[in-house]
Amino acid sequence: MKQSGNTILITGGGSGIGEALAHRWHDAGNTVIIAGRRQEALDAAAAGRDNIHTLTLDVESAAGVVDFAQRLLAAHPAVNVLVNNAGIMRYEKAGEARDLADAEATIETNLLGPIRLTDALVDHLSGQADAAIINVTSGLAFVPLAATPTYSATKAAIHSYTVSLRKVLEGEVEVIELAPPGVQTSLTPGQENRDGYQPLDEFADEVMALFAQEPTPSEILVERVRAFRHAEKDGTLDKFVDQLYDMAKARGA
């Protein structure tokens, strides 16, 4: 992926990882469009940066994604990079019968959202020079957090989907997976200052250094997530699952 001169769409760009990467890509010489549900959050993230633009998007709505893609391409026909970053994370008690509203919303946002948006833009991207799709997964795609089973499952599914996209779009669109570790963001209550999670700016700086490698790695893995990525191969999967479960339980999750 080239480092400057792109027109980059980032979903979930109004906060957290999406906002941090939007700022860095903007400052590196790219035009950036950030998309999300809340216009006020988008405006705050774009403030002071002339080449960050905003568009509202609800990835849970199939019709809304189609409408968004039309608005996006009308306003920014040069878009050549899609970053599927929007996501939600909900704690669930999967060991007992429960209201599945949180699980269903997680699947709609984290799995169907990227699939729908990629579908809406893939023909356009296939015709663009230096096109790329970046899917943001998670270290939990490889070591699930039992307290967030649907979130972990959606990230594992997007990992698999990304591998398939990379094959079918080979030679047309570069397909990259970004798998964060636990990062200090507002993804879950109290996470912004949670001990043991990577500070957001440190994470974003490490990610940008990895994107600057030539060629760009097909998987962007900061140092803190590598042990999770290779846990099954290394025989440490059960140990990490137990550790994550115990830590979440200690927090009351």
Q: pLDDT tens, 117-145?
A: 999 999 999 999 999 999 999 999 999 99
Per-domain boundaries in the chain: 7-250
151 is catalytic: yes
- Residue 192 in this model has a pLDDT that exceeds 90: yes
* Distance separating alpha carbons of residues 102 and 158, to the nearest angstrom: 18
- Residue 252 in this model has a pLDDT that exceeds 90: no
CATH architecture of the domain covering 7-250: 3-Layer(aba) Sandwich (3.40)
- Residue 82 in this model has a pLDDT that exceeds 90: yes
CA atoms within a 13 Å half-sphere pointing along the CA-CB vector of 60: 11
pTM, whole model, 2 decimals?
Answer: 0.97
* Given 151, 161, 197, 245, the catalytic residue: 151
* Distance separating alpha carbons of residues 18 and 226, to the nearest angstrom: 21
* Distance separating alpha carbons of residues 239 and 244, to the nearest angstrom: 9
Give the pLDDT of residue 74. Answer: 98
* Distance separating alpha carbons of residues 252 and 246, to the nearest angstrom: 10
Residue 37 CB neighbour total at 10 angstroms: 16
Band of pLDDT at residue 101, cut at 50, 70 and 90: very high
Backbone angles phi, psi at 183, to 5 degrees: -120, 145
Band of pLDDT at residue 253, cut at 50, 70 and 90: confident
Give the pLDDT of residue 90. Answer: 96
- Residue 243 in this model has a pLDDT that exceeds 90: yes
